[in-house]
Amino acid sequence: MDVYDLFASCRKGDICRVRYLVEQRDVDLNVRDKWDSTPLYYACLCGHEELVQYLLASGAKCEANTFDGERCLYGSLSDAIRRLLKDYNCVTTCPMQRDDFSHFLHTLLEQGQHSDVKFVVHGQTFPAHRCVLSARSEYFTEMFDCKWKGKNLITLKHPLINPAAFAAILQYFYTGRMDIDISLLDDCRRLAKQCKLAILIEELENKCKQVYDFVSNKPGICVKVLSLEPHSCRLQEDMALLAECAFPSELQVGFGELPFNGTKHFPTYPDICFRVNGYSFLCHKAFFCGRSDYFKALLNDHFSEGEKLQSHPSTSVITLHNISHDIFIHVLFYIYTDDTELTMDSVFDVLCVADMYLLPGLKRLCGKTLAKATCEENVLFLWKTAKLFRLSRLEDHCTEYMAKTIERLVEKPEFAEMIKEDAASLEERHETDSVPLVDEIRFHITSNVQTYSAIEEANQKLEALEELLCNINIDC
């Protein structure tokens, strides 16, 4: 129902409603309707310039020479919107939503919060984090352990090191992405070779070949910027090294099957220790503060003076209560990699902790896990859980499942009680006002009904629902 609302709001140009659906209800911006149209297409078609600008900034896809891009450009009602779309096509960085992992890493690079080393390249200063550079490059691991050991300010004076090329290498380390001027390509190759980045060199060669093939078939086209798209899996694997190294030695037994070989001698330069159930996890403020407002407040506003770790005298120790070390491990891997393996045995505990620690992305991962386990026996409980933790996609999934099994659900007293509670939760509800749960079930029953047999089946389901509403004396 939220998806239907998004399409309707884009046609009307209701930017406030679209913002609510995207930022609060977590509706996918690039969803398609039965005509294969996206919300951005309708915003362009109806001439809502401000809304188009918001959708593009929030992550709506509209690349040049693609089906969506050309369709939006062709259907735009005004030249102003066409200019917006063309300007968007010139932008090389992908739009990111607020809590997106790539956005976090990009912000970490740009703002340099909690950085512990600075590079000076021909007068330009670049703040960085030893842990990130060490996880992404063996060269930096070796340099931090020998030539640059103990240094917080590193000056690179070699005349062949170009500051713009060095900035592009840092961008690659942090985000897996690289945007570099064609004129600086040789400088980037030279730096990549120095940093022993064989994979990056191969990616640059492949990209150059693609650009050459593209330009040779389109006379008059001039490419000035080369862009490498990130390989999220490789980036996550490298960041997972930091999570693995944070484990206390007592808990590292049994992780030999995971792809974290050689981490025993891998220095990560931790600056915060979390003590959970007596276990000490050596972590990094940059990740915990950047990923969670809870930890940002905890680490920045409190505990400036307190217990210090004996093995690392400069590292503060914070004890976390009301959480087991098993659940904290899920939080740890999510914060460093944006992913964690969840099971039905642990998902509810992780969900509660994710809510407490203000980790909406981890909550959504829990919601996906719960959605896969939906059945007639637990759908009502999962819907209540989704409402409680504001998991809009899980809530919508549950109502869609209810619509499919409504003829059996109406026989359950618990379902009738849920409708009564949902009706009672509406402030100042009049006797004939709608009930959100009932409206959403009706929507899913009637959506995409095209054949006579499907219409007949939908009518039977609606009749069963109406009979229940009549029995419990609710008119909506």
Rounded to a whole number of angstroms, the CA Rg of the chain reads 27
What is the reported pLDDT for 416?
92
Residue 96, in any domain of the structure: no
What is the reported pLDDT for 58?
82
- Asked if pLDDT for residue 313 goes beyond 90, the answer is no
Q: 207 and 256 share a domain?
A: no
CA distance 473 to 462: 16
Q: 244 and 226 share a domain?
A: no
Instruction: Tell me the pLDDT of the chain averaged across its residues.
Output: 85
What is the reported pLDDT for 84?
83
Q: 268 and 224 share a domain?
A: no
Instruction: Give me the mean pLDDT over the 9-26 stretch.
Output: 87
Angle between helices 360-372 and 392-404 (to 10 degrees): 20
What share of the chain in percent tops pLDDT 90? 49
Residue 338, in any domain of the structure: yes
Q: What is the CATH number of the domain that holds 30?
A: 1.25.40.20
More confident residue, 65 or 354: 354
Q: 190 and 285 share a domain?
A: no
Q: How confident is the model at residue 428 (pLDDT cuts 50, 70, 90)?
A: low
Residue 57, in any domain of the structure: yes
Query: What torsion, rounded to 10 degrees, do the Cα atoms 106, 111, 115, 117 define?
Result: 90
Q: Which among 49, 52, 71, 70 is positioned nearest to 60, based on CA atoms? A: 52
HSE-CB for 433 with a 13 A CA cutoff:
14
Q: 381 and 363 share a domain?
A: no
Q: How confident is the model at residue 67 (pLDDT cuts 50, 70, 90)?
A: low
- Asked if pLDDT for residue 139 goes beyond 50, the answer is yes
- Asked if pLDDT for residue 431 goes beyond 70, the answer is no
Which of 90, 119, 138 is a domain's end point?
Answer: 90
pLDDT digits 0-9 by tens, 220-277: 677 778 888 777 678 888 999 999 999 988 877 544 434 444 444 578 999 999 999 9
More confident residue, 108 or 250: 108
Residue 79, in any domain of the structure: yes
pTM of the model as a whole: 0.77
Residue 95, in any domain of the structure: no
pLDDT digits 0-9 by tens, 374-407: 999 999 999 999 999 999 889 989 999 999 999 9
Residue 20, in any domain of the structure: yes
Domain that holds residue 337: 235-369
CA distance 360 to 396: 17
Q: How confident is the model at residue 93 (pLDDT cuts 50, 70, 90)?
A: very low
Q: 58 and 152 share a domain?
A: no
Residue 425, in any domain of the structure: yes
In our burial notation (b when 16+ CB lie closer than 10 A, e otherwise), range 307-326 reads eebeebeebbbbebeebebe
Q: 210 and 272 share a domain?
A: no
Residue 476, in any domain of the structure: no
Q: 113 and 60 share a domain?
A: no
What is the reported pLDDT for 97?
44
- Asked if pLDDT for residue 96 goes beyond 60, the answer is no
Q: Number of structural domains, the chain?
A: 4
CA distance 21 to 328: 31
Q: 249 and 291 share a domain?
A: yes
What is the reported pLDDT for 316?
87
Which range among 85-94, 136-145, 315-324, 425-434 shows the weakest confidence by mean pLDDT?
85-94
Residue 380: count other Cβ atoms within 10 Å of its Cβ. 18
Which of 230, 253, 278 is a domain's end point?
Answer: 230
Q: Name, in order, each residue with C-beta under 8 angstroms of 288's C-beta and a sequence gap of 6 or more.
A: 272, 295, 296, 299, 335
Which of 332, 349, 369 is a domain's end point?
Answer: 369
Q: 239 and 365 share a domain?
A: yes
Q: 108 and 226 share a domain?
A: yes
What is the reported pLDDT for 294?
93
Q: How confident is the model at residue 348 (pLDDT cuts 50, 70, 90)?
A: very high
Q: 196 and 243 share a domain?
A: no
Q: What is the CATH number of the domain that holds 303?
A: 3.30.710.10
